[in-house]
Structure 1
Amino acid sequence: MGINHWPEGERPREKLLVMGPQALSDAELLAIFLRVGVAGRSAVDLARDLLAAFGGLRQLLEADQARFCAEHGLGTAKFAQLQATLELSRRHLASQLARGNALTSPALVRHYLSSQMRHLDHEEFAVLFLDTQHRIIRYESLFRGTLDSASVYPREVAKRALELGAGAVILAHNHPSGVAEPSDADRRITDRLSQALALFDVRILDHFVVGDGEVISFAERGWL
């Protein structure tokens, strides 16, 4: 039976409009994105099949084009639509951060950094440059590494902070292993950056390590 023949309260789109998106399951949300199913399978059935095939929602959303398009019911048009949707979400988070003080929105900062870095299969080191009122000037990924390391140069971070007129920064890097626990090397480079930036009156407010579903804060650990 097609979704159009389901009771209205069970149809994903109508359910979302009445109860809000948080009330829907992953399969129901994905079904709205898919819009239609395939022969003999409703959009919800197809969504459940895809979640099982990929191993979950995150794996589906982060699949590359070849893997995504290989599944029945998907294709390049759906892949392009998904990438546009994900980028809109990232830009929405960035615009929310840009309007306010980064220190008043720690959850938003975490969410934004996770959206930028969690899916990466290599290590990246990024910086949120802030003005003296702790408002966002710019987010930049400055260093890219291998699967387990990235070379970070304090002089380059300080130079960029001066170019942007930053008064403070929030550091961030990801652990492609998925384990967010900071290493001794992470703490050492943070200390080096803190010393270098202090010479120019630029303060490090926090350093976040992004893992698989977890983002650890140096400030919350009392390391800054």
Structure 2
Amino acid sequence: MAITDWPIGERPREKLLSLGATALSEAELLAIFLRVGLPGKSAVDLARDLLTHFGSLAALFAAPRPAFSAVPGMGDAKYAQLQAVLEMAKRTLKEEISQQSALDSPEAVRRYLGLLLRGRDIEVFVALFLDTAHRVIACEELAHGSLAETRVYPRELARRALAHNAAAVIVAHNHPSGRADASEADRLLTAQLAQTLNLLDVRLLDHFLVAGARVESFAEHGWM
């Protein structure tokens, strides 16, 4: 049955307009993006198929172009639209944390780092450099690969903090495995980073771990 044949209150677009975006399921939100389905399959059905195929909304956004475009009903145009939506979300959150203190908007920081690192298939280490008001000056990816090889990170982080004249830093990395617990190497690295930055009178405010849908704070868990 086509969505236009559904009761008005159950149609994703009308439901969003009357109840707000948070009232919709992931499949309904994705259906609004898709706009149309396939013969014999509504946009919601197609959205559910996509979520099942890729495993999650995050994995769908992180899917490489060939894998996404190979799905029936998708293609380069839809891939470009999806990536544009993701990039607009990242830029909106980055603007938010650049205009106010990261300490006053911790959820915006979490959402930004989640969008930045979720779905990456290798470990990525990033740093947010903050001014004296704890507003984000810059965000940089400083390393890729296992955090077990930590020798270069404190020196490189210190160098970039000085380059940005940063007063504080927030770092983050992801676990592609989805494991949300900090490893011993993660905790050791965090202590080394804090000690190195302290010599420069720069504070390490937090270290976030992005694992699947979770974004864990080292400071909140007492891991630093």
Q: Identity across aligned pairs (percent)?
A: 57
Cα 1:216–1:48 shift into 2, 3 Å: closer
Q: Distance in 2 between matches of 1:206 and 1:83?
A: 29
- Structure 1: 4+ residue segments shifted above 4 A: none
Residue 99 (structure 1) aligned with residue 99 (structure 2) = yes
Unaligned 5+ segments in structure 1 are: none
Q: Distance in 2 between matches of 1:102 and 1:93?
A: 11
Could you give the per-residue CA deviations for residues 81-120 of structure 1, whole angstroms, max 9, x where no partner exists? 0011111111111111111100112222111111111211
Give 1:31's aligned amino acid: A
Specify the SS of the correspondent of 1:187: helix
Specify the SS of the correspondent of 1:209: strand
TM-score (norm 2): 0.93
Residue 189 (structure 1) aligned with residue 189 (structure 2) = yes
Contact 2:148 2:185 in 1 (8 A): no
TM-score (norm 1): 0.93
Q: Which residue of 1 aligns with 2:61?
A: 61
Specify the SS of the correspondent of 2:59: helix
Could you give the per-residue CA deviations for residues 32-83 of structure 1, whole angstroms, max 9, x where no partner exists? 1111111122212222222233333333222111111111111110011001
Q: Which residue of 2 aligns with 1:3?
A: 3
Q: Distance in 2 between matches of 1:2 and 1:168?
A: 53
Contact 1:143 1:150 in 2 (8 A): no
Contact 1:118 1:212 in 2 (8 A): yes
Residue 75 (structure 1) aligned with residue 75 (structure 2) = yes
Residue 134 (structure 1) aligned with residue 149 (structure 2) = no
The alignment's C-alpha RMSD in Å is 1.6
Q: Which residue of 1 aligns with 2:153?
A: 153
Cα 1:214–1:91 shift into 2, 3 Å: same
Contact 1:37 1:46 in 2 (8 A): yes
Cα 1:188–1:55 shift into 2, 3 Å: closer
Q: Which residue of 1 aligns with 2:163?
A: 163
Q: Say which is worse superposed, 1-10 or 200-209, in terms of deviation.
A: 1-10
Give 1:66's aligned amino acid: P
Aligned length: 223
Unaligned 5+ segments in structure 2 are: none
